[in-house]
């Protein structure tokens, strides 16, 4: 996952270890009202034009970020706001272009929005809506609509940040492969927002929402789920969910010595299956370069996979039976009819790279302006080379105060660099997104600070929103909790907390409180 994971474990204050252990993975980020001006139209032909030219046309095309046909000029997705339950379709800046999110930001201001529909851009209208109860999971909820601000073609857009319990599906589709027919698919996802839960999938699933047996699914999976040892490397891996197992080869489930995983912030995860004897997995950095073939060979030797028995439903973010313990990011994905050629897949990767996926920022830096990149410097005498940074601990990202300077590794400096976002719970306040882990935001839980995805809940919105004011020490800046206004971000004993000036927690001690809660907003440590 992220850099610097193990090196800092000893700096985690002992006082908070039990709290970390209890922590559940949660949420994400805020939207920006400042949209960099980019290209309204990406280069053509686009992904589905390329698949069509290769004789394997898209039968479903879902994207949060852009048109997947040069000629497409319809909606990308629908959002619903909590204040009055109304919905809004989010379309494009131009035909064949990128998502136009300004209407969404206006529609969702001072309330919160979830994504209720992801439109299929093909004539099949295989739209995805919030998944209902399945054989192994209760009904899902919609993902927050502004939890993953990223850049595409120089424009700010939103990806879909899926937390556990969230997923999308269509059980009544047209044109999707069934019962041994060949198909291809890919999704653009993220290597920094993953877990080992079952099952962050995009692709072909059962029409019943139940596990109906081996070979009844054919979906690309991206996760750290090791479906029985041995697995190689730490992942996350691109795998095939063929039902009752995630497969990296025909050796048995996740076993493939040459597939050690890919953890780029933007990842192309690709699968094709001829439905009879063969499947292939490819991965790539969605920001640059070409695809790596992780596997091209026979279908699993266990009974039921050759030939396949796909049913033709489409799932996003869960397993075929709605196993919904997984998390992940989704930017775009398509499914095809036929078995795409390697040349077609290579051209699609080039098209994805041309989009220029990146974390959305703007030109300003070092100031509390939405879109600005900043670092947050401790002001206590003797510790002014300390900054707030995130680091991996016990399965999540914790925020700590630690020494960062010119001799620090680039990855450590990146961990101490934040993108300023409009506050989830209050547009006059701020949320802070990890620059190197798109979709992970500073939030408190049991008054300890973490960097985690935003799940769209009101609690998480408040936990991840901080109001800036003149520093409690008389200069600099203090960050007041939006949902616990007596509490401010405090560096204490190497950790970072929401602290009151006197209270029950060790970090509430009055001595040093004013200085410990005062920071300097500096230029970003990592450009």
Q: Which of 444, 512, 504 is nearest to 472 (CA)?
A: 512
Residue closer to ligand AHR, measured from CB, 107 or 507: 507
Between CA 258 and CA 248 the distance in angstroms is 10
Comparing every residue's Cβ against ligand AHR, the nearest one is 319
Between CA 26 and CA 144 the distance in angstroms is 12
Taking the complex as a whole, the smallest distance from the CB of residue 445 to ligand AHR amounts, in Å, to: 5
Residue closer to ligand AHR, measured from CB, 502 or 527: 502
Taking the complex as a whole, the smallest distance from the CB of residue 494 to ligand AHR amounts, in Å, to: 19
Between CA 519 and CA 140 the distance in angstroms is 40
Residue closer to ligand AHR, measured from CB, 164 or 246: 246
Tokens 């994207």, located at residue:
63
Contacts of 351 (CB under 8 A, 6+ apart): 43, 45, 46, 47, 50
End-to-end CA distance of the chain: 20
Between CA 432 and CA 320 the distance in angstroms is 35
Taking the complex as a whole, the smallest distance from the CB of residue 484 to ligand AHR amounts, in Å, to: 7
Q: Which of 420, 451, 441 is nearest to 523 (CA)?
A: 420
Q: Which of 132, 156, 136 is nearest to 146 (CA)?
A: 156
Between CA 54 and CA 48 the distance in angstroms is 10
The residue from 46, 49, 151, 243 that is catalytic is: 243
Length of the chain in residues, anyone?
527
Taking the complex as a whole, the smallest distance from the CB of residue 523 to ligand AHR amounts, in Å, to: 29
Query: What residues make contact with ligand AHR under the rule CB under 6 A?
Result: 136, 198-199, 211, 217, 241, 243-246, 319-321, 323, 444-447, 459, 463, 483, 498
DSSP-based three-state secondary structure for 512: coil
321 included as an active-site residue: yes
403 included as an active-site residue: no
The residue from 211, 321, 332, 508 that is catalytic is: 321
DSSP-based three-state secondary structure for 211: coil
Taking the complex as a whole, the smallest distance from the CB of residue 64 to ligand AHR amounts, in Å, to: 22
- The DSSP symbol for 143 reads P
The most distant pair of C-alpha atoms in the chain lies apart, rounded to whole Å, by 71
Taking the complex as a whole, the smallest distance from the CB of residue 139 to ligand AHR amounts, in Å, to: 16
Residue closer to ligand AHR, measured from CB, 13 or 319: 319
Q: Are residues 491 and 472 in contact, defined by beta-carbon separation less than 8 angstroms?
A: no
Taking the complex as a whole, the smallest distance from the CB of residue 448 to ligand AHR amounts, in Å, to: 7
Residue closer to ligand AHR, measured from CB, 151 or 211: 211
Residue closer to ligand AHR, measured from CB, 291 or 500: 500
Residue closer to ligand AHR, measured from CB, 201 or 294: 201
Between CA 80 and CA 356 the distance in angstroms is 28
Between CA 240 and CA 386 the distance in angstroms is 44
**Residues with a known catalytic role:** 243, 321
């Amino acid at each position: 996952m992220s850099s610097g994971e193990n090196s800092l474990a000893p700096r985690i204050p002992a006082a908070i270890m039990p709290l970390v252990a209890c922590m559940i993975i949660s949420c994400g980020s805020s939207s920006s009202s400042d949209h960099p001006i980019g290209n309204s139209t990406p280069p053509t032909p686009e992904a589905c034009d390329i698949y069509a030219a290769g004789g394997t046309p898209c039968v479903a095309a879902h994207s949060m970020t852009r048109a997947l046909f040069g000629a497409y000029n319809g909606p990308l997705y629908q959002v619903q706001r909590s204040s009055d339950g109304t919905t809004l379709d989010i379309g494009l800046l131009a035909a064949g272009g990128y998502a136009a999110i300004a209407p969404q930001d206006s529609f969702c201001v001072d309330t919160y929005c979830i994504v209720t529909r992801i439109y299929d851009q093909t004539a099949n209208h295989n739209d995805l809506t919030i998944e209902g109860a399945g054989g192994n999971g209760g009904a899902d909820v919609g993902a927050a609509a502004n939890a993953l601000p990223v850049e595409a073609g120089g424009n700010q857009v939103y990806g879909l940040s899926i937390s556990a319990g969230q997923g999308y599906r269509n059980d009544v589709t047209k044109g999707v492969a069934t019962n041994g027919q060949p198909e291809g698919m890919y999704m653009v996802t993220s290597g920094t927002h993953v877990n080992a839960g079952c099952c962050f999938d995009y692709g072909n699933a059962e029409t019943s929402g139940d596990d109906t047996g081996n070979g009844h699914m054919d979906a690309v999976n991206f996760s750290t789920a090791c479906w029985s040892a041995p697995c190689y490397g730490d992942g996350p891996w691109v795998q095939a969910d063929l039902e009752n197992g995630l497969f990296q080869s025909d050796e048995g489930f996740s076993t493939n010595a040459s597939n050690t995983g890919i953890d780029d912030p933007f990842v192309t995860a690709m699968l094709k299956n001829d439905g009879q004897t063969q499947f292939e997995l490819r991965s790539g950095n969605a920001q640059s370069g070409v695809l790596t073939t992780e596997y091209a060979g026979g279908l699993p030797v266990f009974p039921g996979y050759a030939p396949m028995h796909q049913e033709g439903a489409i799932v996003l973010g869960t397993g075929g039976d709605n196993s919904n313990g997984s998390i992940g990011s989704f930017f775009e994905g398509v499914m095809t009819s036929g078995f795409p050629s390697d040349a077609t897949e290579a051209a699609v990767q080039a098209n994805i790279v041309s989009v220029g996926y990146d974390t959305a920022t703007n030109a300003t830096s070092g100031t509390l302006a939405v879109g600005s990149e900043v670092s947050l410097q401790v002001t206590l005498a003797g510790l002014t080379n300390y900054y707030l940074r995130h680091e991996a601990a016990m399965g999540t990202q914790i925020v700590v105060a630690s020494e960062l300077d010119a001799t620090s590794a680039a990855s450590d400096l990146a961990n101490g660099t934040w993108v300023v976002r409009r506050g989830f719970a209050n547009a006059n306040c701020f949320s802070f997104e990890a620059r190197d882990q798109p979709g992970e935001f500073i939030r408190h839980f049991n008054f300890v600070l973490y960097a985690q995805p935003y799940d769209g809940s009101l609690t998480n919105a408040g936990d991840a929103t901080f109001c800036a004011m003149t520093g409690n020490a008389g200069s600099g800046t203090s960050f007041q909790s939006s949902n616990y206004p007596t509490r401010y971000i405090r560096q204490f004993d190497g950790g970072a907390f929401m602290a009151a000036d006197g209270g029950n927690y060790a970090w509430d001690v009055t001595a040093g409180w004013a200085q410990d809660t005062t920071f300097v907003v500096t230029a970003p440590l990592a450009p």
